[in-house]
Structure 1
Amino acid sequence: MATQTLDLHDLRIPKRGFEGRDTPENELIDACVRCGFCLTSCPTYVETRKETSSPRGRIYLMKAVSEGRLDIMSDGFVEQMYECLDCRACEAVCPSGVQYGKLVEPARTQIERQLQRPLWQRAIRAATFKGLFADMRLFRAMCMAFKLYQRSGVQAVVRGSRMLKPLGLDEMEGFLPKMSGRFFIPDGQEYAPVGPQRARVALFSGCVMGTAFARVNRATARVLARNGCEVVVPTGQGCCGALNVHAGDLDSGRDLMKRNIEAFEALEVDAIIINAAGCGSNLKEYGHVLHDEPEWAARAAAFSAKVRDVSEFLAKLGLVGELGELKARVTYQDACHLAHAQRITKQPRDLLKAIPGVTLVEMNESSLCCGSAGIYNITRPEMSGRLMTRKAKNALATQPEIIVSANPGCMIQLASGLQSEGATEIKVRHLVELLDESYRLAEGKGVRRRIRADRQGRRHGKAPAPIHEAAVEDKSRGEGATGSVMGMDAQPVNRR
C-alpha cells in the first residue's frame, strides 16, 4: 500500500498550530477510534490507497497539529485538508459518530488565516466569496454575462478554436452550466396550493439554482403547490454560504448565514424547502456554525430546525393527485450532502418509484462522490476527473435513459462525464423535474405550465400588484415558454 511520509519527529522545533476561533474541537478529534470503517467509503482513499488520504489519516494529522507535533502549514497537512472532498461519506459509516465535516472545515479556516497566498489568489477569493456570493445582484450580472457568451455564439467559437487549451482554461470553461433563459429571482412571490392547503412552506432559491437551474426552482414550486402547499419565496435571501465554508472562509460564510436567517425568520411557515443537497446540508448546520454568537445562536438553531430537502418533505407529506406515466429507465446518483450529511437516501428513491412507468436501476457505487464537491472540479481537476470517469462508467453500466440527482454540482459533473464518454443522448435531470413532468402528463397537456404568483402582496399596505406569470422551460420552444399550472392557475394569496 502506498504511503505518505510527514515530518513528525523533531518535537524541539516550535510548531504553528490551531489558534483563536474555529478550531477543530479535540472532543470531535478524539471520537475517532481508528477502526478504519471509513476507508472504503472515502473517494480519495479508494483512488489512492494512501492512509493520509483517508478520514482516519486526516484526523490523525489534525490531532498532531493540535498537540504541537506537526506544523499547521506543513505541505502534507495543507495538501490533505484540501485533497479531501468534504463529501461526508465517512460520517455515514462511522460507528463512533465522528462529525468529520465539523473538523475539516475549521481546519481549512485555520489554514487560510495563516496561509500567505499570492496576491492574485487572494484577489480571486475576495472577489468570489466576499463579492459575488455576498451580492446576488453581482452574481446575477455575472451569470447574465455568461448567458450572453453562450447565446451569442462566442462560446461555440471559443470551444471550436480551442484557444483556451494553451491557457489551461478549457476544462474549467467546460464546467460552465447553461444559463436559464429567465432567472428565478426571490421577490416575495407566493404560490397558492392546488386543492386543500396541507402546509405553508418557504422556498430557498440559492445562487446557482436560481440562475443556471431556474427551471428546477419553478418545478419545485409547481410540485409543492400541486401537493397542497402554499409556497412563499422571501426577498432578501441569497447564497447559502456553503462554498465559503468549504473553502475555509467561515467568516464570510457567517455573514451570508445571518442574512438568510433575517430573510426567513419572520415567516410563519412549516418548513424551509431546499432542492440543492449541498445548500441544504449547510442550511441545516447554521445552528452549529453560529452556536458561539449569543445574538444569533437561538435564531440560527430555529432556522436550521425548519430546513427540509424537497424529497424529504414530499416523502413525509405524501404525494397527492394523479401522476402521469413517464416510461423511462432511470438510475439515481446519490448527492453526497444529501446521502451522507443529511442521511437522505430512501426518500428520493421512493418518490421515483411512485412515478408510473419509471424503472429505477441502481448503479454501482451510487453514493461514492462524483468529484464535483463545490469547486473541487476546478481546484483539483485531476482527482475530480478520476472520480467523474468512475461515476460516469458506473452510471452507463445501468443503460439508463435518464440519470437523476438532487444537486446542481452533481448534475453539471455528470453531464460533463457523459460528454467525455460520448453518451450525450442520456439526460441528467433533477428529481423534482421528473415529478413535475409526471404531473403534467397526467393533465394530458404537451407543454410545461406556468405558475401565477402574487409578487408584491400586501406587506407594505399596498394593493396587490397585477398577477405576474413566472416563465418556465418548454422543451419544444425553449426557456421562457408558458402555459397553466397542472391545467389550472395557482391563484395569488395574501401575505400573512
Structure 2
Amino acid sequence: MAKLAELVVKKADNPKGNYLWEDAPDEDKFSACVHCGMCLEACPTYQELGHEHQSPRGRVHSIVAVAKGEIELNEAFADPVFTCLDCRACETACPAGVQVGALIEEARGQVRQAVPLTGVPALLNKLFLRGIFPHTKRMHTLGSLTKLYQKSGVQFAVRKTRAIRILPEHLSDMEAIMPPIGKPVLKTYPDQLPAKGTAKQSAAMFTGCIMDVMFSDVNEATVRVLQKNGHDVHIPKNQKCCGALHVHAGDRAMGKKLARENIDAFMNEDHIVVNAAGCGCALKEYPELLQNDEEYREKAEAFSERVIDVSKYLYDYGYEPPKAEINKRITYHDACHLAHGQQVWDEPRELLEQIPGVEMVHLPDADRCCGSAGIYNLTNPDMAGRLLKRKIDDVPENVEMISMGNPGCMLQIALGVKKYGRSENVVHTMQLLDWAYEKEEST
C-alpha cells in the first residue's frame, strides 16, 4: 500500500505525465516531430504490418500521449515500443532530425520499471543480461562450455538424434548456424600489440562480449589488419560489455554501470576502434545514457568523440590496399547501427573495392534491417523471420560472399542463407581484408 501511495503522489507531482522515473523521454526530442510521415516507408515494421501505431510516427505519438498523462505505461503501450527494431532508419529519413532511437530506449526504460518482466523472460534476463554478459570471466566460461559442446561430440549427437528439436524452432535454427568457438582476444592476446613496420597511429580496440566469444576470429583478423596498416593496437583488459543489449531491453541501470566502466577503461586512449556496429553505436551514445550523471556526463562526451568504426578508422587514418587478388563477387549489407546509427556508409565499400579482383555487386535495400537487431530475433522471432526472408530475397543470385560489419547481422543472415538453400559465405569486412593480406604475404 505504501508503494501504491508513493506512485499516486509521484503522478500528482510529476510534470512528465505518466513517466515516473529518471530518463523519461525528452520533450525536446519528441516535440521536433511534425508527423509528416516521411519515416513510414523507411520503417521495417510499418512496411510489414501497415499499422500506424507500429510506425515511428505512431510510436512518437504514443510516447507524447504518456507524457501528457493520456495513456498509461502498460502492456498496450509496451507492445509497439518493444516491437520497434531500434534500427534508426526513420532517423535517416526524418527531415526534422527526431531522435526516435533515444526516445524508444528511454520509453523502454520507463516501461520496464512500470511493468517488470515475469516468468521465463525474467529468469532469462537475470541469467544472461545481468548474470553473464556484464562479467567478462563468466562470458569466457560460457564460451569454453560452448566450445566443449562443439568439440566433444555432444553437438554431433544432439543434431544426429534431432534432440535439438525440443527447442523452439527459431532457437534450434540459431544453433544450426553457430560458428566454431575460438579463444577470446581479450583473454589470450597481450594488451599491447605493435604495428608492422613504422607505426603511424595507435588505436585501442573494443573487443565486445559476444563478438569476442562467438567471433574471436573476426577480432583476430581486425588486429592483424590494423597492425598491417601501421597501427599499434592496445587492448585494455578491464573493458566490459558495451551495454547495448541492456539499454535495448530497458535495463538502463546496468547499461549505465557498464558505460562508466568502459569510460574508465579507455580513459587515456586517442582512438577507440570498434568492429561491431551495435557496440559502436552504443558506445557513441553514452552521452545520452549518462546525461543525468554529473560525474560522467562530460567524460561520456569526450569518450564518444573518440569511438570510431574500424572501417572508418582505416579509411581516415591509413589504409594500404592489399596487392593479392581475391577473385570474388561480393555484395555488402549495411548493418543498421553502422549506417543509420553511425552514418558510416561508403567507407566499408571503399575498402572492399580496393581489394584486387573483388567485384562489388549492388544489394537492393542494403540498409534495411535483417531482423537481428540485438536479440530481437530471439524475442520477436516472427517479425525477425519476415525481415530475414526479405533480406535474403534481395541478395543477388550471382554473388559468392555477403560482407557486413556486425556479428548479429552475420548470424542472422547466415541463418537465412542456410534456411533458404543459398550458398553465399557470410563474412566480416575485416576478414576479407585479412585474407587478402594473408594471400599477399604467402606469395
Equivalent residue, structure 2, for 1:426: 424
Aligned twin of 1:331: 331
Report if aligned partners of 2:17, 2:68 keep a CA contact under 8 Å in 1.
no
Superposition map of 1:281-430 within 5 A: 281-320=281-320, 322-395=322-395, 397-423=396-422, 425-430=423-428
Tell me which residue corresponds to 2:39. Answer: 38
CA shift, 1:292, in A, is: 1.4
CA contact (8 A) 1:179 1:211 kept: no
CA contact (8 A) 1:402 1:429 kept: yes
Structure 1 residue 311: deviation in Å?
Answer: 0.5
1:104 aligns with 2:104: yes
* Partner-residue secondary structure (3-state), 2:69: coil
Local SS of the residue matching 2:186: coil
The residue number in structure 1 matching 2:19 is 18
Structure 2 gaps of 5+ residues are 1-15
The superposition leaves residues 309-352 of structure 1 with CA deviations (integer Å, 9 ceiling, x where unpaired) of: 00111111231264311000000000000000101111111111
2:434 is matched with which residue: 433, 436, 453? 436
- Identify the residue that residue 53 of structure 1 maps to in structure 2: 54
Distance in 1 separating the partners of 2:203 and 2:116: 44
Per-residue deviation at 1:76? 2.7
**Alpha-carbon contact 1:335-1:369 (below 8 Å) kept:** yes
Task: Give the Cα separation in 2 of the matches to 1:364 and 1:109.
Answer: 35
Alpha-carbon distance in 2 for matches of 1:119, 1:384:
23
CA contact (8 A) 2:321 2:351 kept: no
Write the letter of the residue equivalent to 1:139: M
Deviations 1:444-487 (A, max 9, x none): 35xxxxxxxxxxxxxxxxxxxxxxxxxxxxxxxxxxxxxxxxxx
CA deviation string 1:222-265 (max 9, x = no partner): 11111111111011111110000100001001111111111110
1:336-370 residue CA offsets vs partner (Å, 9 max, x unmatched): 00000101111111111111111011111110000
Q: Alignment partner of 1:403: what SS?
A: strand
Whole-Å separation in 1 of the counterparts to 2:156 and 2:81: 37
When the two structures are superposed, what TM-score results if normalisation uses the length of structure 2? 0.93
- Give the conservation status (yes or no) of the 8 Å contact 1:199–1:270: no
* Correspondences of 1:271-290 after superposition (within 5 Å): 271-290=271-290
Report what 2:65 is aligned to: 64
Taking the aligned partners of 2:130 and 2:280, their CA distance within structure 1 comes to 21
Amino acid at match of 2:219: N
Residues of 2 paired with 1:281 and 1:414: CA distance?
20
Change (3 A) 1:46 1:321: closer
Amino acid at match of 1:246: H
Contact 2:275 / 2:309 at 8 angstroms: preserved in 1?
A: yes
Paired residues in the alignment total 426
CA RMSD of aligned residues (A): 1.7
**In the alignment, is the contact (CA less than 8 A) between 1:91 and 1:99 conserved in 2?**
yes
Find out whether 1:248 has 2:262 as its counterpart.
no
| Deviation per residue, 1:91-148 (Å, 9 max, x gap) | 1111000111110001011000011432433222122222111211111111221121
**Is the 1:226–1:321 contact (alpha carbons within 8 Å) kept by the matching residues of 2?**
no
Greater mean alpha carbon deviation, residues 15-24 or residues 370-379:
15-24
1:259 is matched with: 261
Q: Which amino acid aligns with 1:335?
A: A
* Misfit runs of 4+, over 4 Å: none
Q: Distance in 2 between matches of 1:421 and 1:129?
A: 31
Q: How many Å separate the matches in 2 of 1:286 and 1:415?
A: 30
Q: What letter is aligned with 1:236?
A: N
Aligned counterparts of 1:321 and 1:158: Cα–Cα separation in 2: 44
Partner of 2:5: none
Q: How much has 1:208 moved relative to structure 2? A: 1.2
Decide whether the 8 Å contact of 2:311 with 2:348 is kept in 1: yes
Q: Which amino acid aligns with 1:174?
A: D
SS of the residue 2:293 aligns to = coil
AA matched with 1:38: C
* Deviation for aligned residue 1:193: 1.2
Tell me the SS of whatever aligns to 2:185.
Answer: coil
Identity %: 41
Hey, what does 1:465 align to over in structure 2? none
Counterpart residue identity of residue 33, structure 2: C
Question: Residues of 1 paired with 2:167 and 2:155: CA distance?
Answer: 16
User: Quick one: distance in 1 between partners of 2:237 and 2:116?
Assistant: 38
Cα distance in structure 2, aligned partners of 1:441 and 1:178:
23
Distance 2:308 2:349 in 1: 16
Q: Displacement of 1:391 after TM fit? A: 0.6
Measure the CA separation in 2 of the matches of 1:406 and 1:117. Answer: 32
Map of 2:6 onto structure 1? none
Question: Residues 26-69 of structure 1, C-alpha deviation per residue, up to 9 Å, x if partnerless?
Answer: 11111111111111111101111111111001101111111111
CA contact (8 A) 1:405 1:429 kept: yes
Aligned residue type for 1:433: Q
